[in-house]
Amino acid sequence: MIALSVNINKIATLRNARGGNMPNVIEHAKNIEMFGANGITVHPRPDERHITYQDVRELKKALKVELNIEGNPKENSFIDLVLETKPSQVTLVPDESDQLTSDHGWDTVKEKGFLSEIIQLFSNNKIRTSLFINPEVAHVQGAQEIGTDRIELYTESYAKSNILEMEKSIEPFINAANKANELGIEINAGHDLNLENLSYFAANIPNLKEVSIGHALIADALNYGMENTVNLYLRALLK
């Protein structure tokens, strides 16, 4: 079964727009867990414009499903937060602090030295590691040499293609996944996956372990309700 981890950053964005605690991020995360999601993903940034560091601490205490924390390990505060909360998984993403959203993966060849040290640090603390990378075979090979447990394939180039382009646009992801399977690296995926493109992606990526979905899922929940939406995404992952 492919795990669904729901990114709840957008719920926190709505809360922060008004101040106070409405909507309640922790309660919504617990509801999403109750509705059947396999995990919760958060991407705290130093300016705390959506998920705050305190949210992460409270989520770690409140959740029974896996907590996945995304962020840039070049920020010391992020490293400290991960080591403090010890989530099930940390996903390392090379974005800048003022970036609107993630838009590229790691160059695992150029960043091998730095990433190897960070991966070892988290591994020593028994935290599963994942590297956010573009669907390039060379970067999968680099990830294996770095020692990460998983990669997360950055799926925007696939997700932005129309239905007639899907077969072509998914080819680099299949090639990257085949290389990861050959090297014994587990595979996650995320960015702009939605109800229109998720099933095809899941059916064609061999041994896909987990998808992380936030923006589209939260937007769909405005129309369909959160419980129904979580179940729609879970069904889309069935092969």
Record the tokens describing residue 113, joined without a space. 């030295």
Question: Do 60 and 67 touch, CB atoms closer than 8 A?
Answer: yes
Q: What type of residue sits at position 77?
A: S
Give residues with Cβ within 8 angstroms of 116, minimum separation 6.
Answer: 145, 146, 147
Cα–Cα distance between 27 and 30 in angstroms, integer? 5
Whether residue 215 lies in the annotated active site: no
CA distances from 187 to 60, 88, 96, 176 (A): 23, 15, 24, 9
Spatial CA neighbour of 91 closest among 167, 175, 151, 49: 151
Among candidate residues 28, 50, 66, 70, the one labeled active-site is 70
Among candidate residues 28, 43, 50, 139, the one labeled active-site is 43
DSSP string, 43-79: ---TT-SSS-HHHHHHHHHH-SSEEEEEE-TTSHHHH
Q: What type of residue sits at position 37?
A: A
Whether residue 50 lies in the annotated active site: no
Whether residue 43 lies in the annotated active site: yes
Among candidate residues 66, 152, 191, 210, the one labeled active-site is 191
Question: Do 93 and 70 touch, CB atoms closer than 8 A?
Answer: yes
Q: Catalytic residue positions?
A: 43, 70, 191
